[in-house]
Structure 1
Amino acid sequence: MLVLLALSLVALFSAGSQTAARAQATTVTSNASFPFTESTATCGNVFVTISGKLHVLAHVTTDAQGGRHATLQINTEEVKGTDAAGNQYVSSATNNDSLNEAGTADSQSEHTITTKFLLVGKGNLPDLLVKTTMHITINANGEVTAEVTNVVAECR
């Protein structure tokens, strides 16, 4: 799921950089959903297989100076999960982020995105809050040169 998000960001910012030579502001909008299936450990180290869709709505504006400004809405859709014992979990999450970078030529850009994802256990099952912070560095050619992901999980 995080790989899809990283690729989406690279594609959006690369598209924005192709319009940087223009003297006027331009905007690119992307609206895409990606199916995903992941396994995650819940409270008590019980593994749950979850599946659903990751929806990304992004607007990237390249200003007249070549700077790029993005607003992102990232949400999950139809997320359900089951562990080996048949216990069920559901989730719904919406995250909003904005990214800005100056319009300097031949420079790399760095972006940090933080998302929160609540996996709700049905009945008496504990809930799991997962906070993911992803930092991406993209060079002047639009290639990802570094990616660091930190995931913190908390039982509730």
Structure 2
Amino acid sequence: MPTKTLTPFTLALLPLLWAAPAPAEPGQNIQIPINIAVPNPCVPEFVVLTGDLHILLHINANEGGGSNFVFHSNYQGIEGVGLTTGSQYRGVNTQTLKVELGSGGLPSVFTNVVDIRLIGQGQTENFVVHLTQHITVNENGEITAIVDNATTECRG
């Protein structure tokens, strides 16, 4: 059953989209601590995930006077512990999101899809957390819609 959540990635992403275009740089590194509980579809329990979300951000002005944003992210040192069973998990993920804004920058819409594989240690079954994030911003820079859906799937 899908659950709605505002993910740390979305929270980190929003303020950066309205920053003034910067000249090409090697990139900005952003670290965001993660501490979230997700439902385990293989066993009726929640798994608490901790670690860091690492984002490498590149911002470049484009020829049309707008901005191009490239976000490369990975979850570093993500570990999970089942609240009932004490089962241990290791999280694995990388992703790249590209956003292009015109010279006015707004309105803007973007969608981001993330899969975090949680690898069970020993005989513990693996599962995946699937996040779909859709954000709409109007011409005044106001967020008019945020749709974050998280689902989990047992992968045996």
Give me the TM-score of the superposition, normalised by structure 2.
Answer: 0.83
- C-alpha deviation, 1:107, in angstroms: 2.9
Runs of 4+ in 1 over 6 A off after TM superposition: none
The corresponding residue for 1:22 is none
Residue type matched to 1:34 in 2? I
Higher relative contact order (CA 8 A, sep 6+): 2
- Cα deviation, residue 145, structure 1: 2.2
**Count, aligned residues:** 148
Contact 1:10 1:144 in 2 (8 A): no
SS in 2 for 1:27: coil
Deviation at 1:45, TM superposition (A): 2.2
Retained in 2: the 8 A contact 1:57–1:72?
Answer: yes
Q: Does 1:97 align with 2:97?
A: yes
- Match of 1:26, SS? coil
Partner of 1:41: 39
In the alignment, structure 2 segments of 5+ residues that lack a partner are none
1:87 aligned partner = 87
Give the number of the structure whose residues are more often helix, by fraction.
1
* CA-CA distance at 1:116 after TM superposition: 1.0
| Percent sequence identity over aligned pairs | 30
* Aligned residue among 5, 24, 27 for 1:27: 24
Output the aligned Cα RMSD: 2.1
The answer on 1:9 being equivalent to 2:13 is yes
Q: In structure 2, do the counterparts of structure 1 residues 85 and 3 end up closer, same or farther at CA, with 3 Å as the change threshold?
A: closer
The equivalent residue for 1:155 is: 154
